[in-house]
Amino acid sequence: MTPSSPPPLSSAVFICISFLALMISPSAALTCSSQKFTENQVYSNCLDLPYLSSYLHFSYNSSNTTLSIAFIATPSKSGGWIAWAINPKATGMAGSQSLVGYKNSTTGSAQVHTFDVSSYSSIVAKDLSFEVWDKTAESRSDGSLAIFAKIK
């Protein structure tokens, strides 16, 4: 090989593949299809959400107009929380109805509670403006939390 000739094709391919592998973070390798639940729940749809390495699994039952959801995300810091919300009246957080999951600092168990975000200065723990039941939360081995609920 002379100094002006390009490297052999196999070297160029190896360098290119190595570079691409370094650019893919381990969290990007996780997708909806790779996630399993402790209770073996199955959802007919899933979205790899574009922010915060979060995922939304859901199934819609048209016979009783019920949405079953599983929202998975990693809290931004240890001891933090995750939230999934619906705003039935507008866009944005003000007016949204949210499910908030966190790890209880005393018991260590994952919990979920409902909050009404009536304005940017008022967040109140209370029942939502629509039916929500079977609310549970799960702490996952990778540090993420999952919120489960059924919504009418």
pLDDT at residue 149 in the model:
95
Dihedral sign for Cα 71, 75, 81, 84, please: negative
Look up tokens 């933090």; give the residue: 80
| DSSP secondary structure letters along 99-128 | EEEEE-TTT--EEEEEEEEEETTEEEE---
Q: Which residues contact 92 (CB under 8 A, 6 or more apart)?
A: none
pLDDT in tens, 5-27: 444 444 443 343 433 333 333 34
* Averaged pLDDT for residues 57-69: 93
Q: In what order do the strands lie in the sheet with 81-86?
A: 81-86, 96-103, 110-119, 122-125
pLDDT at residue 22 in the model:
36
Domain boundaries, the chain: 11-151
Segment among 54-63, 106-115, 123-132 with least mean pLDDT: 123-132
User: pLDDT grade, residue 45 (50/70/90)?
Assistant: very high
Segment among 1-5, 100-104, 136-140 with least mean pLDDT: 1-5
* Averaged pLDDT for residues 95-110: 92
pLDDT in tens, 112-143: 999 988 888 878 888 888 889 999 999 998 89
Q: Cβ–Cβ contacts within 10 Å for residue 87, how many?
A: 14
User: Percent of the chain scored above 70 by pLDDT?
Assistant: 80
Helices within 1-136 (DSSP H only): 9-23, 26-29
